[in-house]
Amino acid sequence: SAEIAALEAQINPHFLYNTLDTINWMAIEQEQYPISNVVSALGKILRYGIDNSNGIVTIADEQNWLNQYLFLHQNRLRNMLQCDVQIAEETLGLRIHKLLLQPFVENAVVHGFERDGGDCLIRVDGKREGEWIVFTVEDNGVGMSEEQLQDIWEVPDAKRYAGQRIGRYAIRNVKERLELLYGDGCTLRIESAVGRGTCVTIRIPWE
């Protein structure tokens, strides 16, 4: 309802940060260091996501956020999730849109967890290829059919696509941000097959 939305909007992010910091110190005083690590990671990713959420950051900042984000999921899934983040050192100082990879990493985590048996695997790569920076996010989740891949770029239908393989709104947002920043000088490709996982590739100019 409008009343609930208004109340939620009144929650100050700084109140949330300070509360998490208090919980963190309580855990440290009780020598509950694993709890402290989780609370600290949660505070960092929330602060990063809320503060200037559409800003420009270094690739190093994005890598740090990814490591904290995946650490939380690994704790939640009790180490059933295996993650490999490999970002080339020569790219770390370059600047990109904040949370560029977030929708794809989140999707990989959610659907990797749906596997029946075996480990859930997520690999994130970032490297230079000639005049391009190429990011890939790959998982061994349930994958998508050709029809689902085509549907991603169609006009959203909230009822029809509730709970679909990838958050369509988030992906469209990433695509629009890339086009605003780079025009035609970028590509976003999604490759997938049912039962064989998904691989997302983002290619942007080296600047």
Please report the pLDDT score of residue 118 as a whole number: 62
pLDDT tens track of the chain, all 207 residues?
A: 555 555 555 567 777 777 888 888 888 888 888 888 888 888 888 888 777 767 889 999 999 999 988 888 888 877 678 889 999 999 999 988 888 888 888 888 876 566 555 678 899 999 999 889 999 999 988 888 888 777 776 655 544 444 454 456 677 777 787 888 787 778 888 898 888 888 999 999 887
Please report the pLDDT score of residue 63 as a whole number: 93
Please report the pLDDT score of residue 89 as a whole number: 94
**Dihedral over Cα of 161, 163, 169, 175: its sign:** negative
Other Cβ atoms less than 10 A from the Cβ of 128: the count is 13
Side-by-side strand order, sheet with 120-129: 81-87, 120-129, 132-139, 198-205, 187-192
Please report the pLDDT score of residue 161 as a whole number: 47
Other Cβ atoms less than 10 A from the Cβ of 79: the count is 9
pTM score? 0.77
Taking CB atoms within 8 Å and a gap of at least 24, the contacts of 102-105 are 102/49, 102/69, 102/170, 103/166, 103/167, 103/170, 103/171, 103/173, 103/174, 104/137, 104/166, 104/171, 104/174, 104/200, 105/66, 105/69, 105/70, 105/137
Residue type, 153: W
Please report the pLDDT score of residue 165 as a whole number: 46
Please report the pLDDT score of residue 19 as a whole number: 82
Please report the pLDDT score of residue 88 as a whole number: 95
Q: Of 148, 137, 97, 139, which Cα lies nearest the Cα of 121?
A: 139
Q: In the numeric block, which tokens belong to residue 67?
A: 């490591």
Report the C-alpha gap between 95 and 207 in whole angstroms: 9
Please report the pLDDT score of residue 81 as a whole number: 82
Please report the pLDDT score of residue 159 as a whole number: 47
SS3 77: coil
Please report the pLDDT score of residue 201 as a whole number: 94
Residue type, 56: I
Q: In the numeric block, which tokens belong to residue 11?
A: 């929650």
Looking at the chain, list the stretches that DSSP marks H as alpha helix, in order from N- to C-terminal side. Answer: 2-9, 13-29, 33-50, 59-76, 102-112, 146-151, 168-182
> What are the CA-CA distances from residue 144 to residues 118, 164, 198 (Å)?
19, 10, 7
Please report the pLDDT score of residue 4 as a whole number: 56
